[in-house]
Chain A
Amino acid sequence: MAILSVEDLSLSFGGLKVLSEVGFAVEDGDIFAIIGPNGAGKTSILNCIGGFYRPQKGKVIFEGSDITRRSPDRRAALGLARTFQNIALYRGMTVLDNIKLGAHAHLHTGLLKGLLYWGPAAREEMALRQEVEEDIIDFLEIEAIRKLPVASLAYGLQKRVELARALAMRPKVLLMDEPVAGMNAEETEDMARFILDIKEERGITIVIIEHDMNVIMDISDRVSVINFGQKIAEGTPDEVQAHPEVIKAYLGEKRD
């Protein structure tokens, strides 16, 4: 069953058409990749799913309900987590504090409740949160750096911390915007392994945007190709690689 689907999505800024009638369905438990040349509209699709852009036309459906008009924070609470292309960690805070913020969504943000949150129920909640945090820290192998401020870490590690923060939200679907961009070979391999582990051990569905074709073709279950705001192909990695439109978009046309 599709856990997340996008139907007929159209987005424009003034006269600039960014997306036109893009649609796809992401199966529960899959790794779904969106690829395409620079400026094709990939991040715009993520922003529509995350709620930062309001599409002029079309729907975003999550677990059978239409969330197109929901605000981004509500979507996060429903189980959509996100990592960013440019690391969006809280730089002055420690790794652990950043991860704790990820768990924030599950405490309902009433002002008074937030001020007066106390008592046994709160303690129970805290214990549960701690378990989740420890579990995630183990899982992503960042025990050694948990107390360090984020700003002092290497780029690859920061990306991993951002992933940890997203996982702390206990999401059903994880949206990843270029998780291996700018990484060296070893970091890329680590990240690819973590992404696969997230899918296999945690059963989280992943929607991923990436330029690194090797990674995409290795880990994805389905790939959708976007060019100039339109979907030009979709299928398994092998099908997509052999698709004439895709070859045209990436390599250009042969001139006679």
Chain B
Amino acid sequence: MWFFLELIANGIAVGGVYALIALGFVLIYKATSIINFATGEFMMIGAYFFYTFMVMLGLPAIPSFLLVMLGSAALGFAVERAILRHMLGQPTISIVMVTIGLSSILLGLAELIWTSDFKNFPPLFPRAPIIMGEVVIRSNFFWGFVIAMAAVVVFALLFKYAKVGVAMRATANDQMSAFSMGINVRTMFTVAWSMGAIAAALGGLIIGNIGGIQPTLGMVGLTIFPVVILGGLDSIAGAVVGGFIVGIVENLAGGYLHEYVPGDVKELAPFVVLVLILLIKPYGLFGKEEIERL
């Protein structure tokens, strides 16, 4: 019984981080209808930013953290202005290819700048694990979960109540009518890319803190994909629920199935659940129904 609870608790902890990274997809998709396949690389770059500020430049943790947010917002801004703005009105498939290309470029840049060596963050949190009854959660997981959830709540509140969030929702709904309501749609696109990049970077920072960083960290983005599809590409609530489902399924599969199915059953399980859910709800748990399928 304790083993089960521990798997669930760890699943929830990881799921919270997945939810945050999934938000990186959702924020951008919601406003611009673009699926950003470079989200994983945004994560990875965010983690390297943190490494640069904290380890290479020796700044304390909190300023480094804030600088990561600033830096990744700038990255999102630059990508949108320099590349995606010129793709306005092009077919979805072309834009998707551009984001895939972008992910390769970012990966290559990271290898050039930071080399492909494995790197570790200095310990950020007290090392003592969190113990509830017989459930043990590693402190990096626990604090990662706390930070991720805080970020998710802030993003959700922004989207629901702040003027910028309302304007972004209006843009997502109908660009032409948003324009005639006096909303600067182009600015909203830039804001969405910056917010998406921040969400991904924070997620990357947390994941990097748990397992160390190297340029291929962005591959985690693939794990996040079932989260996003599961919840529905354009739903914040969906990202959160999807994140928890994937985190829990992963841990349960890893814990119980590993002895029968050796190999990467942990990575595979979420995709099986994804297929099952999509059979019943083709637009994800919370998705709107007009989503364009690729």
Q: Which residues of A contact B (CB under 8 A)?
A: 50-52, 71-74, 76-77, 80-82, 84, 88-92, 101-102, 104-107, 109, 111, 114-115, 117, 165, 169
Contact of B182 with A76 in the complex, beta carbons under 8 Å: yes
Contact of B162 with A105 in the complex, beta carbons under 8 Å: no
Q: Give B181-194 as 1s and 0s: 1 = Cβ < 8 Å from A's Cβ atoms.
A: 11111010001000
Which B171-217 residues sit within 8 Å CB-CB of chain A?
A: 173-174, 176-177, 179-185, 187, 191
Interface residue? B5 (CB, 8 A): no
Chain A residues within 8 Å of B167, by CB: 104, 109, 114
Q: Count chain A CB atoms within 10 A of each CB in B173, B180, B288 and give the residue with the most.
A: B180
Chain B residues within 8 Å of A51, by CB: 179
Contact of A169 with B164 in the complex, beta carbons under 8 Å: no
Interface residue? B158 (CB, 8 A): yes
Chain B interface mostly:
helix
One of B170, B176, B179 near A90 (C-beta < 8 A):
B170
Interface residue? B86 (CB, 8 A): no
CA distance A89 to B184 in the complex (A): 17
Ranked 7 nearest A-B pairs via Cβ: A105-B182, A76-B182, A88-B177, A114-B163, A72-B179, A82-B180, A114-B164
Nearest-CB distance from A160 to chain B (Å)? 16
CA distance A50 to B177 in the complex (A): 11
Add 8 more A-B contacts to A101-B181, A102-B181 (CB < 8 A): A82-B177, A89-B177, A90-B170, A104-B167, A105-B182, A107-B163, A109-B164, A114-B163
User: Residue on B with the closest CB to A79?
Assistant: B182
Contact of A104 with B169 in the complex, beta carbons under 8 Å: no
User: Residue on A with the closest CB to B182?
Assistant: A105
CA distance A148 to B229 in the complex (A): 29
Nearest-CB distance from A99 to chain B (Å)? 11
CA distance A189 to B288 in the complex (A): 35
Contact of A104 with B181 in the complex, beta carbons under 8 Å: yes
Chain A residues within 8 Å of B97, by CB: none
CA distance A72 to B95 in the complex (A): 25
CA distance A124 to B162 in the complex (A): 17
Contact of A52 with B166 in the complex, beta carbons under 8 Å: no
Contact of B184 with A169 in the complex, beta carbons under 8 Å: no
Q: Count chain B CB atoms within 10 A of each CB in A72, A107, A115 and give the residue with the most.
A: A72
Chain A residues within 8 Å of B162, by CB: 114-115, 117
CA distance A84 to B181 in the complex (A): 12
One of A71, A84, A111 near B176 (C-beta < 8 A):
A84
Contact of B163 with A109 in the complex, beta carbons under 8 Å: yes
Q: Which residues of B contact A (CB under 8 A)?
A: 158, 162-164, 166-167, 169-170, 173-174, 176-177, 179-185, 187, 191, 288
CA distance A91 to B177 in the complex (A): 12
User: Residue on B with the closest CB to A103?
Assistant: B181
Contact of A76 with B180 in the complex, beta carbons under 8 Å: yes
Chain A residues within 8 Å of B169, by CB: 90
CA distance A2 to B184 in the complex (A): 28
Contact of A76 with B163 in the complex, beta carbons under 8 Å: no
Nearest-CB distance from B131 to chain A (Å)? 39
Nearest-CB distance from B160 to chain A (Å)? 11
Chain A residues within 8 Å of B183, by CB: 73, 76, 104-105, 109
CA distance A146 to B78 in the complex (A): 41
Nearest-CB distance from A70 to chain B (Å)? 12
CA distance A104 to B107 in the complex (A): 40
Chain A residues within 8 Å of B181, by CB: 73, 76, 101-102, 104-105, 165, 169
Nearest-CB distance from A158 to chain B (Å)? 13
CB-CB under 8 A for A77 and B173, given A109-B163, A109-B167, A114-B164: no
Chain B residues within 8 Å of A92, by CB: 173, 288
Contact of A115 with B180 in the complex, beta carbons under 8 Å: no
CA distance A71 to B184 in the complex (A): 8
Contact of A88 with B174 in the complex, beta carbons under 8 Å: yes
CA distance A80 to B182 in the complex (A): 9
Chain B residues within 8 Å of A84, by CB: 176-177
Chain B residues within 8 Å of A101, by CB: 166, 170, 181
Chain B residues within 8 Å of A77, by CB: 182
Contact of B176 with A117 in the complex, beta carbons under 8 Å: no
Nearest-CB distance from B214 to chain A (Å)? 34
Contact of B176 with A52 in the complex, beta carbons under 8 Å: yes
CA distance A125 to B185 in the complex (A): 24
CA distance A76 to B180 in the complex (A): 6
Chain B residues within 8 Å of A82, by CB: 177, 180
